[in-house]
Structure 1
Amino acid sequence: SVLADYIVNEVQEVYRLQGVKINDKHIEVIVRQMLRKIVVLDPGETHLLPGDLIERSKLMEENEIANNANLRPATWEPQLLGITKASLATESFISAASFQETTRVLTDASVNGRCDELRGLKENVIVGRLIPAGTGLVHHSERRHHRHPSHSHHKDKKSTVDANLMSHFK
């Protein structure tokens, strides 16, 4: 996006002035995390609400469902989060808790009954599982396929994740 390119160029300019060479891809990874959230402007005919701050992937799923049903999709705009806020605003509460404000993050997750689906590298490393990359990618793809043959209910996913997670602590 234009915003992401602008941020990468501005950050690179600061480093260039100091004589430091950094490949763009490293900064792009951070910027992508900072731009991961979006704000819903018009929910269209989806289950979203105006002003919702959600993951871009969640919006894409909702819009795909709306498009497949010939309904009006939601419109949105990117939301730029600071690095700290972006790290804490991840879908994985395990990953967020490992970064900062551990007590608050874990308390919030517990009170709200959140379920960590262990999709990212960090949370899988924390609980001692194969990461969803390289040789672990096949394992995670098969696990996801068995869990969601046709997008099963959240309760089914939650119990599967809870059982998988608890099996690592036995």
Structure 2
Amino acid sequence: PKDPATISEVDGVVKFGEIKRGKREIYVYQEPAEEGVEPQLYEVPAGKHLRVHEGDRVRAGDRLTEGPVNPHDILLIKGPRAVQEYLLNEVQEVYRLQGVRISDKHIGVIVRQMLQKVRVTEPGDTDFLEGETVDRLTFRDENDRIQKRKSKPAAAEPVLLGITKASLTTQSFISAASFQETTRVLTDAAIRGAKDDLLGLKENIIIGHLIPAGSGIYRYAEIDIQPPAGYEAPPPRVEEPVPVPLAAAVLVGEEE
């Protein structure tokens, strides 16, 4: 967002410092105070409206100045759950102002996709590279495989993507190509020799397959349903021919 609010990264007490070169110094002293720990310093424009006063207690993630909160700051300070709740509440607020009621689950699906990626900070004994952005589920599966071998797992931090970027970085190149930048997505997939496992709804609709949901879910495909003991199937129905009046048959013949 433009001109975002300054938020506190720690719990503590607010103390105001000097104004230097048009910037006001705001110190947040952690509580309980720890020996050798310096207070957190924030410099904000002197003319910007403050939300705190001298001696106020703040918690990590609280705004010190007016303005919209940057979701990336919330993710960094408070974690994925907090940024999910923030985005959900902000979107719902827009609908509430218009008198529209919408279930949280619809917005939650979008927010979940915005947090589908993680950035590798420590590759450990995996095949990942430091700084590589990978799918969250792929990262989890690879770590599970490494831990079964008693090796060192990788470490990663969550990444917040915009809805456009999230749609273009999905695992399915068919789904990504149907959204935007079709030429680039297909060229990149061809160079990498990518394979689409058709795990999502969108790519299956494009191909013309059953969507993997409800009765079309993959794990139900090989289930053989056996009737209960003693069950006798009803005899098949035989459709009897419907008699056609002679006059109607004659009229049809004349039309032909």
Q: Please, what TM-score do these two structures have when normalized by structure 2?
A: 0.53
User: 91-100 or 65-74: which moved more?
Assistant: 65-74
- Distance in 2 separating the partners of 1:138 and 1:48: 29
**Identity of aligned pairs, percent?**
59
CA-CA distance at 1:140 after TM superposition:
7.3
Separation (CA, whole Å) in 1 of partners of 2:220 and 2:114: 25
Counterpart Cα distance in 2 of 1:111 and 1:69: 32
**Residues 107, 65 of structure 1: alpha-carbon distance in 2 compared, 3 angstrom cutoff:** same
The structure with the largest helix share of the pair is 1
Distance 2:122 2:140 in 1: 14
8 Å CA contact 1:132–1:140 kept in 2: the answer is no
Residue pair 1:41, 1:76 contacting (<8 A) in 2 also: yes
Matched to 1:135, the amino acid is S
| 8 Å Cα contact 1:92/1:123 also seen in 2 | yes
Alignment partner, residue 11 of structure 1: 91
2:102 aligned partner, one-letter code: I
Greater CA radius of gyration, 1 or 2? 2
Correspondence for 2:123 among 43, 65, 75: 43
Q: Structure 1 runs of 4+ off > 3 angstroms?
A: 138-142
Q: What residue is the counterpart of 1:74 in the other structure?
A: 154
Aligned twin of 2:33: none
Which residues of structure 2 form unaligned runs of 5+?
1-80, 223-256
Equivalent residues, number = 142
Structure 1 counterpart of 2:164, from 67, 84, 89? 84
Task: State how far apart, in whole Å, the 1-side matches of 2:153 and 2:221 are.
Answer: 28
Structure richer in strand, relative to its length: 2
Cα distance between partner residues in 1 of 2:90 and 2:120 = 27
Which residue of 174, 181, 188 corresponds with 1:101? 181
Per-residue deviation, 1:92: 0.4
